[in-house]
Chain A
């Protein structure tokens, strides 16, 4: 742990930002300590002969109204500026800590009062608080320290409060409390050390803000009083002469900004080092690219609804490229229902997204062939096939609670499809939307269309999603776990709805699910995926009784059958799917496979034709399915 954190620190400090912050902060602190020793005399020397001189070799920032050297004054002012800012920060941190830990120290009641006070106080900007306190404590440096310190306190108290509350809820605190450890001791020994890092970060940044606030007050004439001077005061004096002599105002301004930035950057670097912030990243859609042209794949005479050959999805990961989906080939005839099953992480959903051209950047989709209704989807980017995909390909996603836009009316979200792709006018698009909602059996469709998604139940939202897919005239529906988030009755309704649509209009269905039984019910063919590959392709009639791949059999065996006791924990396949970044050599399923032999661990079995129209990727596909039985008991025993 210690090694890990020192490494993080090392990395943070060596980053360009870290170096900049460290150098700047060090410079500011050194200046604050030593500048008055070196330049005090120069800064105070009055030269009536050179009043308000511009910058020159002698006076890099010129001179002020009394002929004093401004550059030296700015350097010397570092001491007072930094000192006062640190004093104010210290005060603010102290008061903030006291207020913030009041619930722990003084018990519930007093804590609630402190909390209410903090709540009211944080609503006011700190500059306003500072002005208020400046009135109370009087004009001058001391008053300003008190004012800025107290103005910083509420925000700090809020931070302490939230963090201390989370720490205080943890077990070891409860244990200490039961053991009779006193409140102060709990606070000092258990709570504060656990929130110290973020507090230090906040305090560092607060010092930067205090510096600026002080400059502000002194600039207004409410802070440091003559003959003393800090950066704010120099700025105020300089501004009056800015037309004659801009350097007088700019030099202290630059000094304040640099110093404040030093504190802020240091805080930022520390925050990153201890993992409070991470670099943001964003990843929306990337186009599908065709791989370099190969020798023409065997041309197919009849154009199927969907033809995919050798589909691969690649993501960059820690410098390497990983492919969570590989060598996927599949084919759908119009009106056909094909299922893809597999555990989570098998690549089945990603396959669906890849086919639908919805893989997010930096993901890359390559394929030897990717044709939908005869159109090659690989080239031309998203725009080229927008209309085709928008009207003929419908998507239904897993979580109906999050898949509809929370700020748009449901009817609008449906109507949009035909408005964009078929140029329907507002009114007819709306009528169509209501009609489609009606078609997916949403009661009182006209009224419901005007509602927002959160007013729909989960089942209704999923039906609305399906209705959205039916706005135009889809030839294919890709449904990715459409019923997983729904309860059993609703699930059945949604499945029946999909089935009706499919048979009525001969719409193809690509149905992704982890549930073997549902897939066997809904689909004619089933593709079983494991570790990004198709490992078996079989008619759904054969799925439950005659699967050849041990993984398929295990999936089937894991289903609680009619005869299984409902109270028994669900059987699962022991082990976990492999990490796509570290695939084992040989068959990816070998580590979990009861039939695995030497050859399995050495050679990856190809997906080969089996028994006519089936395909399976297993060296021991011919072994009798008897092997399932002992496997299943093992699974059961492991679970109990």
Chain B
């Protein structure tokens, strides 16, 4: 919470050109990545061995039908023309239509994206809300030289949890809370209860990794001169830790947190499949299996853009929290 308060602070003295340069460079990088992403998604279909339409329709489909589809999709045009069409269509929000259902891909995505976004956002929120206090607490305890055992347990738990990927955590959660205890529903999205396990499965690993990071950063910050100054002012420990140390530690943790948020977005794919969550994760897998390439293309694009936006948001948040990072960037 303190971090947010810091974020609203204006840093007038930096000079406007630093911010302008930051904005220009960051936007440039975003556009470059976007271009790479879009081009990769476009080329994906063409890199496939064999004919994607034939693959989708199966070996028994009549030749005319395949040819008809190919022409409809413009697959016989020269590559550059197809690329131009693809870009043009994308700009107008047209991602083509599914080869299996014939529905527009944008419609399919629109119908399922909400569930995925909800899951990712909730999980990230839980991870942050758990990790910051936990990491701070562990740093303070470790710093005092007390509770060695607790510190050791925390570190090993977080190491183990960091190794276990979210879909295995999901399986364990299903087993414990769904099968053994029967507390929470384990499939689908119906009512608040159904969010509990998927969100937990996604958030548990990141929460501990982040907590470990906050702890390390916190320990480093506690060694700094300005914390010595805060102690010299005889502020109560609570104030030293929460108001003076934490915002600085969180700034450093945020970079890593951003990377993890990106991974968390990707992690939803697996977790959604464990819990039969009606989001994009199910769509991408089923469309890959059905060789429904336009849909795959669209969903990959959406995930990619999601990750890029997350990275952007993290960089901007970082720059607001710690103006020096903006200087470094420009």
Q: How far is the CA of A144 from the CA of B236 in the complex (A)?
A: 56
Instruction: Kindly list chain A residues whose C-beta atoms are within 8 Å of the C-beta of B270.
Output: 127, 216, 219-220
Q: How far is the CA of A239 from the CA of B167 in the complex (A)?
A: 11
A120 touches B32 (CB 8 A): yes
The 8 Å CB contact of B226, one of A124, A264, A280, A405, is: A405
B284 touches A131 (CB 8 A): yes
Given contacts A219-B270, A407-B322, A452-B13, contact A135 B172 (CB under 8 A): no
User: Which of B142, B175, B237, B265 has most A Cβ within 10 Å?
Assistant: B175
B11 at interface, CB cutoff 8 A: yes
The 8 Å CB contact of B163, one of A123, A138, A249, A260, is: A260
Nearest residue in A to B263 (C-beta to C-beta)? A125
User: Which of B239, B269, B308 has most A Cβ within 10 Å?
Assistant: B269
B48 at interface, CB cutoff 8 A: yes
Instruction: Kindly list chain A residues whose C-beta atoms are within 8 Å of the C-beta of B111.
Output: none
B98 to chain A, nearest CB (A): 15
A534 at interface, CB cutoff 8 A: no
Question: Which one, B121-129, B191-199, B243-251, is touching chain A?
Answer: B243-251
The 8 Å CB contact of A397, one of B142, B225, B307, is: B225
B216 touches A280 (CB 8 A): yes
A344 to chain B, nearest CB (A): 16
A361 touches B289 (CB 8 A): no
Instruction: Kindly list chain A residues whose C-beta atoms are within 8 Å of the C-beta of B85.
Output: none
A253 to chain B, nearest CB (A): 5
Number of interface residues of B (CB under 8 A): 79
A136 at interface, CB cutoff 8 A: yes
B232 touches A249 (CB 8 A): no
A557 at interface, CB cutoff 8 A: no
Nearest residue in B to A400 (C-beta to C-beta)? B225
A212 to chain B, nearest CB (A): 5
Compute the total of residue contacts between A and B using a CB distance below 8 Å.
205
Nearest residue in A to B312 (C-beta to C-beta)? A123
A421 at interface, CB cutoff 8 A: yes
Q: How far is the CA of A603 from the CA of B22 in the complex (A)?
A: 65
Question: Which one, B61-69, B73-81, B86-94, B296-304, is touching chain A?
Answer: B296-304
B171 to chain A, nearest CB (A): 5
Q: How far is the CA of A397 from the CA of B228 in the complex (A)?
A: 9
The 8 Å CB contact of A404, one of B174, B175, B226, is: B226
Given contacts A132-B300, A452-B13, contact A250 B171 (CB under 8 A): yes
The 8 Å CB contact of B247, one of A222, A283, A284, A407, is: A407
A362 touches B145 (CB 8 A): yes
User: Which of A208, A220, A285, A452 has most B Cβ within 10 Å?
Assistant: A220
Question: Which one, A382-390, A523-531, A572-580, A611-619, is touching chain B?
Answer: A382-390
Instruction: Kindly list chain B residues whose C-beta atoms are within 8 Å of the C-beta of A215.
Output: 165, 168
A407 touches B13 (CB 8 A): no
Instruction: Kindly list chain B residues whose C-beta atoms are within 8 Å of the C-beta of A416.
Output: 233, 235, 239
The 8 Å CB contact of A131, one of B11, B216, B237, B288, is: B288
A325-361 CB contact bits vs B (8 Å, 1 = yes)? 0000000000000000000000000000000101011
Instruction: Kindly list chain B residues whose C-beta atoms are within 8 Å of the C-beta of A361.
Output: 143-145
A546 to chain B, nearest CB (A): 36
Q: How far is the CA of A249 from the CA of B167 in the complex (A)?
A: 12
A249 touches B296 (CB 8 A): no
A119-149 CB contact bits vs B (8 Å, 1 = yes)? 0100111111001101110110000000000
B residues 304-330 near A (Cβ < 8 Å) are: 304, 307-308, 311, 321-324
Instruction: Kindly list chain B residues whose C-beta atoms are within 8 Å of the C-beta of A54.
Output: none
B20 at interface, CB cutoff 8 A: no
A451 at interface, CB cutoff 8 A: yes
B143 touches A420 (CB 8 A): no
The 8 Å CB contact of B288, one of A222, A250, A286, A387, is: A222
The 8 Å CB contact of B142, one of A139, A253, A282, A390, is: A282
Nearest residue in B to A447 (C-beta to C-beta)? B12
A409 touches B142 (CB 8 A): no
Given contacts A216-B167, A420-B239, contact A286 B285 (CB under 8 A): no
B92 to chain A, nearest CB (A): 24
Q: How far is the CA of A362 from the CA of B143 in the complex (A)?
A: 9
A237 at interface, CB cutoff 8 A: no
A417 touches B285 (CB 8 A): no
A residues 239-254 near B (Cβ < 8 Å) are: 239, 242-243, 246, 249-250, 253
The 8 Å CB contact of B12, one of A208, A212, A451, is: A451
Instruction: Kindly list chain B residues whose C-beta atoms are within 8 Å of the C-beta of A413.
Output: 229
B250 to chain A, nearest CB (A): 10
The 8 Å CB contact of A356, one of B36, B232, B236, B244, is: B232
A residues 387-419 near B (Cβ < 8 Å) are: 387, 389-390, 395, 397, 399, 402-409, 413, 416-417
Q: List 8 A-B contacts (CB under 8 A).
A: A123-B262, A125-B307, A132-B300, A135-B296, A220-B273, A261-B163, A406-B322, A451-B13
List 5 other contacts, CB 8 Å, given A239-B174, A250-B171: A125-B263, A281-B219, A405-B226, A405-B230, A454-B323
A-B CB proximity, top 8 nearest? A390-B234, A455-B13, A282-B219, A125-B266, A395-B232, A284-B143, A127-B266, A402-B225
